């Protein structure tokens, strides 16, 4: 059993070399700015979506100085459609902290990185492992699943003490050589994303198959154990799609804090009645097909309502008329972008 940790690590490292992902745009660099940007984008978004955003973001902001100096609106506009916009706001704050407090250089340890805005333990460890080979464990959703299964770890991860325990087990499994850390870290992520899937994992393709506790029990899907299920509340919102009859739409900036803080959006109302009271009486309203948008903690039932208005009849704050040509430059929530395009 004492040889087990290094055996797991070396299998992951070997497997990564032959079966892992190698040609992603953020691989082959040790620039912490690039790695940090990619890891932040990848936190809640799939690789295939991130690729395009990552390249566009880097062309506009090639280094931490240019990002720190940019207006937040420009950052949000480039983030538009990726969702979870607190990531973009934190990215901007973090860039400013790196420039103002660290002379434009990222701290070169996981602990130093974790002290920056928006960088959690797992992201800090991933950056430190990729850039400097630091022996720090990651435990994002995919890796948690791989390790909980390999270890047949049956502690309830809804409990902080069990979660801490899994971090310790993950740390004990790290390769002893720093040079192996980038491939090991990437290999665990790749295994979680391509083989050790939440449902119907491909155990026969897995390099850990003969070591895996969950496999031995023939019950990979029993792990990880987590009793507290994510409960989403529901909220209905009415969105006024006001046009000027010539293709421009009224958009306004969302307040902070709240859903879509800082982004441009159609005016939002809690009820159809509230929407109706905000527009001139006897205005023809067009109810459009509702759509469902799922956030981490909420189901949003969105009810778009169209209306054509005189430009001068709109007197609301923090907004303006924007033509279709201007929409791509604005930070817009993904469902609003889809609505406008549709
Ligand atoms: N998910 C989080 N980090 C990742 C990475 N470096 N490569 C692929 N998927 C990831």
Specify the pLDDT at position 315: 80
Question: What is the average pLDDT across 168-181?
Answer: 98
- Phi-psi category of 85—alpha, beta or left, where left has phi over 0 and alpha has psi -120 to 50? alpha
| Angstrom distance (rounded) from CA 224 to CA 326 | 46
Mean pLDDT of 112-133: 97
What percentage of the chain reaches a pLDDT higher than 70? Answer: 99
Task: Say if residue 40's pLDDT is above 90.
Answer: yes
pLDDT at 258: 86
239 pLDDT above the threshold of 90: yes
Nearest atom in ligand 1 to the alpha carbon of residue 27 is 6
**Per-residue model confidence (pLDDT) at position 2:** 47
**What is the rounded (10 degree) CA torsion for 148, 154, 159, 165?**
-60
Task: Identify the pLDDT of residue 284.
Answer: 95
CA-proximal residue: ligand 1, atom 2 (nearest):
42
pLDDT above 90: residue 44: no
Residue 230: pLDDT above 80? no
pLDDT of residue 342: 80
Q: So what's the pLDDT on residue 303?
A: 95
Which residue, judged by its Cα, is nearest atom 1 of ligand 1?
42
Confidence band of 3 (pLDDT split at 50, 70, 90): low
Distance in angstroms (rounded) separating the CA atoms of residues 166 and 266 = 44
Note the pLDDT of residue 1: 41
The Å distance, Cα 65 to ligand 1 centre, comes to 24
Q: Which residues lie with the beta carbon below 6 Å from any ligand 1 atom?
A: 24, 39, 42, 47, 186, 189, 193
pLDDT, tens only, 253-275: 999 888 899 999 999 999 999 99
The active-site residue out of 39, 100, 252, 288 is 39
Confidence of residue 316 (pLDDT cuts 50, 70, 90): confident
Q: What pTM was computed for the model? A: 0.83
Mean pLDDT in residue range 23-45: 95
Q: Give the per-residue pLDDT at 318.
A: 82
pLDDT at 166 over 50: yes
Best mutation site among 19, 20, 23, 24 for ligand 1 pocket (most ligand atoms within 8 Å of CB): 24
pLDDT tens per residue, range 66-78: 999 999 999 999 9
Residue 26, pLDDT score: 92
Can you give the pLDDT at residue 228? 79
Cβ 274 vs Cβ 341: under 8 Å? no
| pLDDT above 80 (res 63) | yes
Structure confidence by residue, pLDDT tens digits, 189-228: 999 999 999 999 999 999 999 999 999 999 999 999 998 7
Respond yes or no: is residue 39 known to be catalytic. yes
């Amino acid at each position: 059993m004492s040889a087990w940790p290094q055996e797991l690590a070396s299998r992951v490292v070997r497997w990564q070399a032959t079966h892992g992902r190698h040609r992603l745009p953020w691989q082959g660099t040790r620039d912490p700015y690039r790695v940090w940007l990619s890891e932040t984008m990848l936190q809640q978004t799939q690789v295939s979506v991130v690729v395009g955003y990552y390249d566009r973001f880097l062309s506009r902001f090639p280094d931490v100085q240019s990002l720190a100096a940019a207006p937040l609106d420009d950052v949000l506009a480039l983030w538009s459609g990726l969702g979870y916009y607190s990531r973009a706001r934190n990215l901007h704050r973090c860039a400013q902290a790196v420039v103002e407090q660290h002379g434009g250089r990222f701290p070169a340890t996981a602990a130093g990185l974790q002290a920056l805005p928006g960088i959690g333990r797992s992201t800090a460890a991933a950056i430190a492992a990729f850039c400097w080979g630091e022996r720090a464990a990651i435990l994002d959703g995919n890796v948690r699943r791989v390790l909980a299964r390999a270890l047949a770890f049956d502690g309830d991860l809804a409990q902080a003490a069990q979660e801490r325990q899994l971090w310790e087990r993950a740390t004990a499994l790290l390769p002893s050589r720093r040079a192996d850390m980038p491939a090991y870290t990437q290999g665990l992520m790749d295994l979680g994303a391509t083989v050790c899937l939440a449902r119907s994992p491909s155990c026969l393709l897995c390099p850990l198959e003969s070591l895996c506790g969950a496999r031995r029990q023939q019950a990979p899907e029993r792990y990880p154990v987590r009793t507290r299920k994510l409960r989403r509340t529901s909220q209905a919102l009415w969105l006024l799609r006001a046009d000027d009859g010539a293709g421009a739409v009224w958009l306004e900036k969302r307040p902070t804090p709240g859903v879509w803080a800082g982004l441009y959006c159609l005016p939002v109302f809690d009820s159809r009645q509230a929407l109706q009271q905000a527009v001139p009486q006897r205005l023809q309203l067009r109810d459009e097909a509702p759509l469902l948008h799922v956030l981490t903690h909420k189901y949003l039932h969105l009810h778009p309502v169209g209306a054509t208005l005189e430009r001068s009849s709109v007197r609301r704050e923090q907004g303006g008329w924007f033509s279709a040509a201007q929409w791509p430059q604005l930070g817009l929530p993904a469902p609003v972008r889809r609505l406008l395009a549709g």
